[in-house]
Structure 1
Amino acid sequence: MPSRLLSIEVTRPQAGHVRLRLTGELDFDTAPELIAAAAQLRRDGYEQFEVDLNAVTLCDSSGLSAFVVIHRSGTGPIRLTGVSRQLQQLLDRTGLAELLAVDPGTATVDGSQAAG
């Protein structure tokens, strides 16, 4: 049963490239949903993943783990976009910023996401 805490919008801008726009919370309860969606897309032949995190309100260690699982499950890159200042700090502290391609969001001074 899909979680009401996370929605995943999938777009396919070009062959082999997929964009997942996440909205809501990426945590222990919802990370398996992201992993399952990515696994199905890998089976469908998509290798380059862009994960848009602009609308993610929470990302815990399970969310970070999901990014690693997705990264390791394929041969193409995974790029995180719209990364908040807080999530960027977690990625930096855990060393995941060096493993994954990360495009920071446009965070405001108070740490919230600016409209863009």
Structure 2
Amino acid sequence: MPAQLLTIEVSRLDAATARLTLTGDLDFDTAPQLISAAAELRREGCQQLVIDLSAVGLCDSSGLSAFLVAHRAGTSPIRLTGVSPQLQQLLDRTGLAELLAVVRASDGDLRATG
């Protein structure tokens, strides 16, 4: 089964906040797209990035690294939404769940994600 290409749809929620909706696989080949999109938004003044992962089929270590790069480039943590149970387990095991703002559907307050 060939890898799914990654598409990133960017929506500005306000002057300082943008949502990146990812569709496809976030892996070695596609992680640079996320890093580039996040860097561009930071250059445009976005302080808060919300990354919607509900349509991501696969996220490997390169995807985790892309989250870390996007986080370190900003002044506030990136927010991850739509995290699958498998990805949540990876985030927990690597300690990234403590570093990044992971919004779980059970948290109830999804206002910041639009």
Task: Decide: shared fold, TM above 0.5.
Answer: yes
CA deviation profile, 1:14-48 (whole Å, cap 9, x unmatched)? 11000000000000000001100110110011010
Residue in structure 1 matched with residue 99 of structure 2 by the alignment: 99
Match of 1:46 in 2: 46
Check whether the contact 1:80–1:101 (CA below 8 A) recurs between aligned residues.
yes
Letter in 2 for 1:86: Q
Q: Secondary structure at the match of 1:74?
A: coil
Aligned to 1:112: none
User: Please, what TM-score do these two structures have when normalized by structure 1?
Assistant: 0.85
Report if aligned partners of 1:70, 1:78 keep a CA contact under 8 Å in 2. Answer: yes
Per the alignment, residue 111 of structure 1 pairs with: none
Matched letter for residue 104 of structure 1 = R
Higher helix share: 2
TM-score (ref. length: structure 2): 0.87
Aligned residues: 103
State the match for 1:8 in structure 2: 8
Q: Which runs of 5+ in 1 are unaligned?
A: 107-116
Query: Are the counterparts in 2 of residues 84 and 105 from structure 1 also a CA contact under 8 Å?
Result: no
CA-CA distance at 1:105 after TM superposition: 5.2
1:22-101 equivalences under 5 Å are: 22-101=22-101
Between the aligned partners of 2:24 and 2:103, the Cα distance in structure 1 is: 19
CA-CA distance at 1:77 after TM superposition: 2.4
The answer (yes or no) to whether the contact 2:9–2:20 under 8 Å persists in 1 is yes
| Percent of aligned positions that are identical | 71
* CA shift for structure 1 position 104: 2.9
Q: Which runs of 5+ in 2 are unaligned?
A: 107-114
RMSD of Structure 2 on Structure 1 (CA): 1.2
Report runs of 4+ in structure 1 exceeding 6 Å deviation. Answer: none
Which structure features the higher share of strand residues? 1
